[in-house]
Amino acid sequence: MTGPRGSVRRAVVLLSGGLDSTTTLARAIEQGFEVFALTLRYGQRHAIETACAEEQARALGAREHRVVDVDLGFAGGSALTDRSIAVPKDRAAREPADGVPVTYVPARNAVLLSLALAWAETLGARDLFIGANVLDYSGYPDCRPEFLRAFEEMARRATRAGAAGEAFRVRAPLLRMTKADIVREAVRLGVDLSRTLSCYDPGPQGQPCGACDACVLRAKGFREAGVADPTAGP
């Protein structure tokens, strides 16, 4: 993919090391972008995902991968950053769709996209990729398409590039895909599914708990896609 002068277009991809973000990275690379992957350690329980992100960025061919530390736990309010709040386990498949889950991290995607935007502006990139998804269970307000469009408008108003008339685009290629669709897309793109972690509360060696909302949704997606999950236990 080339820019107006024939140069390769750059993109910053938010990469957690989970199934969705890794598939998003693979999609961006397939589309011809020169990809700069950004991983945030924000105090999450499942920070072990970072190791998966590093492996995937290298394996899939990201031009550069940076891991940045930012503390989102100071505000509290999320089971992902506050260990005094239990991660919900063994909920019925329909329950995660009811309301905003306690695993929601306040304003996380706004913060993460802002950091991606800062790097993108210095790189001359105008495309930001995020593995946001509104189907299956989400319930997170910062995964909604109206938030992503609003962020584009904010980026136009908040940056030097935007003031000069350049537009930033937030791309969420998985936004309306089911988890089964995402699994199939990951297989098509050649993603090493054994090195993706989707668990909110993994064990000390990174083993998925198998019972949190993310694990339940992942298992459902693999089952419906007819694909064996290489991270699943016996």
| pLDDT tens track for 145-199 | 999 999 999 999 999 999 999 999 999 999 999 999 999 999 999 999 999 999 9
For 26-47, letters b (16+ CB in 10 Å) and e give bbbbeeebbbbbbbbebbbbbb
pTM of the model: 0.92
Instruction: Quote the pLDDT of residue 226.
Output: 98
Q: Give the residue from 209, 218, 206 showing the smallest Cα distance to 55.
A: 206
Is the residue at 234 inside a domain? no
Is the residue at 207 inside a domain? yes
Contacts of 207 (CB under 8 A, 6+ apart): 233
Instruction: Quote the pLDDT of residue 138.
Output: 64
d(CA 45, CA 205): 13
Instruction: Quote the pLDDT of residue 5.
Output: 41
Strand partners of residue 127: 11, 169
Is the residue at 2 inside a domain? no
157's enclosing H/E stretch is helix 145-158
Q: Give the residue from 126, 130, 133 showing the smallest Cα distance to 180.
A: 133
d(CA 136, CA 134): 7
The letter for the amino acid at 170 is: V
Q: How far lies 209's CA from each of 15, 19, 118, 205, 213, in Å? A: 21, 16, 35, 11, 10
- Please provide the average confidence, as pLDDT, over all residues in the chain: 91
Q: How far lies 139's CA from each of 81, 97, 159, 171, 211, in Å? A: 18, 6, 30, 19, 18
For 204-233, the pLDDT digits (tens) are: 888 899 999 999 999 999 999 999 999 986
Count of H-run helices and E-run strands, the chain: 7, 5
Instruction: Quote the pLDDT of residue 4.
Output: 43
In the chain, the number of structural domains is: 1
For residue 8, what pLDDT band results from cuts at 50, 70 and 90?
confident
Is the residue at 233 inside a domain? no
CATH number of the domain at 183, please.
Answer: 3.40.50.620
Rg (CA), the chain: 17
Which residues span the domain enclosing 210? 10-225
For residue 45, what pLDDT band results from cuts at 50, 70 and 90?
confident
Is the residue at 45 inside a domain? yes
Is the residue at 180 inside a domain? yes
For residue 49, what pLDDT band results from cuts at 50, 70 and 90?
confident
Choice between 47 and 154, residue whose per-residue pLDDT is larger? 154
Is the residue at 4 inside a domain? no
Is the residue at 3 inside a domain? no
CB of 8 closer than 8 Å to CB of 32: yes
For 68-127, the pLDDT digits (tens) are: 999 999 999 999 999 999 999 987 554 555 678 899 999 999 999 999 999 999 999 999
